[in-house]
Amino acid sequence: MHTKKLSIAIPASVVSDIPHLREKTSRIGMIGRAAAIFRVNEIIIYPDNPKVDQTADMDLIATLLDYMETPQYLRKRLFRLRPELRYAGILPPLRTPHHPLNRKMENLERGEHREGVTSSKTSEGTLIDIGVEQPALIPNIQLAINRRVTVRIMKIDERVRVELANREQISEYWGYSVTKDKQSFGKLAKNGSFDLIIATSKYGVPLRDVVEKLAEKWEKAQTILLAFGAPMQGLNEIIRYEGLSLDDVVDFVVNTIPMQGTETVRTEEGLIASLSILNLLLASKV
């Protein structure tokens, strides 16, 4: 049985209205945490202002989201010291199934999945750091060093033996991937292989007015994109740079926060509100 893949699209300027790296880090932490709570499979960062080079912002967002998604016991191996991570200590822990608290071999279970990093090669195979006292062994396979892998525990004795696993086939929620997309939102929506695209906007149709039609399409869709605008301009304004209308490139434009009491809703606020209400209304359809 295939599970649905839920992607969210967030703009590169999601932190452009904040001058200090500490506050930028905090906001990105809220986005990563919301994505994990609601089982988002992919976070896509797209450029939303063609007049500005947004490469640095996209790199910052992607680095911090990737860092959050990486189990803590692997971070030192996979991330060198760099300026973007100066305030990484304030990022909230995800506490997802692939971030286990167990650090002891004796508490491992056969059939359990773990994230690991290849640490060295031996005549027997490749050793993998899976966050316990000793590295695990993938027998008879030579893998490149410092490569992140998903493994399944096969045998536990004086050495843990594991096999490579496909994270997409794990029944538990196994984190999100991060994609930096250089395409504009219109091209992303048109060229992406999504069965269903939902744009959020305060000018959209109230969700309650389309919930039945949306639920019907949600149930049939395998790949779903939920898209968000920026702090200073919504998706309607963003897509006008391309001479397009939002209705031309998405299936639904919905308002998930009707009667909002503030002039604007920040991206991370819209993310939590939209994912929570969709989760409530459509959870049985996932």
Find tokens 């060093």 and name the residue: 145
Residue 245 sits in the same domain as residue 146: no
Instruction: Please tell me the distance from the alpha carbon of residue 221 to that of residue 219, in angstroms, as a whole number.
Output: 6
CATH number of the domain that residue 143 is part of: 2.40.50.140
pLDDT bin (cut points 50, 70, 90) of residue 231 is confident
H helix and E strand count, the chain: 8, 11
Q: What are phi and psi of 112, to 5 degrees?
A: -70, 145
Do 9 and 137 have their domain in common? no
Exposed / middle / buried, residue 23 (Cβ in 10 Å: 0-12, 13-18, 19+): middle
Instruction: Using DSSP, state whether 156 is helix, strand or coil.
Output: strand
**Best CA proximity match to 4, nearest among 181, 282, 207, 219:** 219
pLDDT of 17: 85
Q: Are 149 and 117 in contact (CB under 8 A)?
A: yes
Q: What is the pLDDT of residue 199?
A: 96
Per-residue pLDDT at 283: 66
Averaged over 50-59, what is the pLDDT? 94
> In this predicted model, which residue has the larger pLDDT, 267 or 174?
174
Each residue's pLDDT tens digit, 64-100: 999 999 999 999 999 988 999 999 999 999 999 999 9
Statement to judge: residues 87 and 188 lie in one domain: yes
Our CA angle for 105, 107, 113, nearest 5°, is: 80
pLDDT band at 286 (very low <50, low <70, confident <90, very high): very low
Q: What is the pLDDT of residues 145-165, one digit of tens each?
A: 999 999 999 999 889 999 999
pLDDT digits 0-9 by tens, 239-263: 999 999 999 999 999 998 887 888 7
284 confidence band (pLDDT: 50, 70, 90): low
76 and 194 inside one domain: yes
Which two three-digit tokens encode residue 55? 């490469």
Tell me how many domains the chain contains. 2
User: Could you tell me the pTM of the whole model?
Assistant: 0.94
Print the domain residue range for 17.
Answer: 5-95+184-285
Distance CA 227, CA 231 (A): 13
Q: Which tops the pLDDT comparison, 7 or 2?
A: 7
132-137-139 Cα angle (round to 5)? 165
Q: Does any domain span residue 68?
A: yes
Q: Do 157 and 272 lie in a common domain?
A: no
Q: Residue 180 and residue 226: Cα distance in Å, rounded?
A: 16
pLDDT grade, residue 285 (50/70/90)?
Answer: low
- 195, 224 in Cβ contact below 8 A? yes
d(CA 127, CA 144): 11
Per-residue pLDDT at 276: 93
> In Å, how far from its chain's centre is CA 43?
4
